[in-house]
Structure 1
Amino acid sequence: MTFYSGAMVTGVLIDWGGVLTTSLSDSIGRWIAADRIDADRYYAVMGELIDHAYRGGDGESSIHALERGELDGADFERDLAARLLTLDGAPPVAEGLLERMFAGFERVDTMYDMLRDVRAGGVKTCLLSNSWSNTYPRDGWDELFDAVVISGEVGMRKPEERIYLHALDLLGLSGEECVFIDDIEANIDAARALGITGIHHRDADTTLAQLEPVLRLTLRGTGL
């Protein structure tokens, strides 16, 4: 659902994994099959970590530290691997675990076309992504983004208020002048608290249909 204030929106903040790429759940599913991971155990372990990191909880978790760049990816891999099991009853190989988890991400061209369209329409764009010590395919980013905010590089993470304020400052816009697209509801709620219009991304066609009236632009992929 989109909550739109009706103000003139001239900035787009957008997530990477699961928005500019295919879904995280698809990538995780491929990794679970390829590495023969005990899926029930994985979802129980990761569900607890994600719930604490994004839905509140006392204290900090390893995900908080990983996303801010305070915890090395290799250390997180060792910790996570020790909590998991393969179908053979042994822990999975820790080295390269995160790379294998995200290897199934595929670029969604419709979303990249949207970024080109909105910039051509005079709208500023900012990538706003929580990183898990992963690398990003940055080729062509100068043509897509006016600013890039990656959590591990700035020491802040979504849904912390300060990372949204940092992104807005880089664009030189207020919250009311921006829309934020993300696939995690908690991140959108935090943005909305700052006056930013929020779009909960589920698929490219739905997001573009919701984005067009907010930006008052016609975008490729919506009937052109």
Structure 2
Amino acid sequence: MVTGVLIDWGGVLTTSMADSIAKWIDADRIDGEHYRAVMRELVEVAYSGEDEENAIHALERGELDGAAFERDLAARLLTLDGMPPVAEGLLTRMFAGFERAEAMYDMLREVRGHGVKTCLLSNSWSNTYERDGWDEVFDAVVISGEVGMRKPEPRIFHHALDLIGQPGESCVFIDDIEANIVAARALGIAGIHHREPDTTILELESLLRLPLRRA
């Protein structure tokens, strides 16, 4: 019986990361191919599970502030003019295209209405979260930069489970990054790899044996 739902924010409770990044690439005239090569290298290290660390680890734990990360990332990137992009506000511009995925918020309200505990479990990039209405959908909130831990580290999952008072074996974790799902499953937490709201809600309905889609 599932008694707890842990859920990511960016790309899960919002529209996709890829869509937001694509809008930013167009607006800032970023060399998209070069950007993808740079980020591929950074992200592979950040989510590989190996001991090697980079700026993403520090940013997500809150050990590196956003402005410092922006300067580091801007120095690695190029615009179509062959120059680095403006560093100041880089992260804000990257995530400006995020929009709330209202179907996912509706689903969480239904979940809580049936007595299932919910917890936001998000890796932050020094970004601002729109927290309006969070009391209606979350029993607990865990944001990596605020707690000094990050996914896929086991300790952040244990912290989230402790906050909602549920064992891992009774919980499900929803995220759009596969490495985080793998880490959760290693702790006995069921995982749903989010790609779009309809399929995620359908999978969660099956696990909870509850109707979660509003007419």
> If the TM-score is normalised by the length of the shorter chain, which range does it land in?
over 0.9
Alignment partner of 1:40 out of 33, 41, 50: 33
* CA offsets 1:178-211 (integer angstroms, 9 cap, x no match): 0000000000000001110100000000001100
SS, match of residue 125 in structure 1: strand
Q: Which of 153, 162, 182 is matched with 2:175 structurally?
A: 182
Instruction: Tell me, in whole angstroms, the C-alpha distance in 2 between the residues paired with 1:58 and 1:191.
Output: 18
TM-score normalised to structure 1 length: 0.94
Counting only pairs closer than 5 Å after superposition, residues 143-162 of structure 1 correspond to structure 2 as 143-162=136-155
Distance apart, 1:57 and its partner CA: 4.0
Q: 1:213 Cα shift?
A: 1.5
Aligned length: 215
Where do residues 65-84 of structure 1 align in structure 2 (5 Å cutoff)? 65-84=58-77
**Distance in 2 between residues matched to 1:104 and 1:181, nearest whole Å:** 21
**Structure 1 regions of 5+ residues with no counterpart?**
1-7
Question: What corresponds to 2:187 in structure 1?
Answer: 194
| Greater Cα shift, 49-58 or 182-191 | 49-58
Q: 5 Å matches for 1:1-224?
A: 8-221=1-214, 224=215
Gaps of 5+ in 2: none
Mapped to 1, the partners of 2:172 and 2:82 lie a distance apart of 46
**How does the TM-score come out when normalised to structure 2?**
0.98
CA displacement at 1:58 relative to structure 2 = 4.4
CA-CA distance at 1:23 after TM superposition: 0.5
Helix, strand or coil for the counterpart of 2:191? strand
Percent identity, please.
78
Letter in 1 for 2:107: M
1:7-28: per-residue Cα shift (whole Å, max 9, x none)? x101000000000000001000
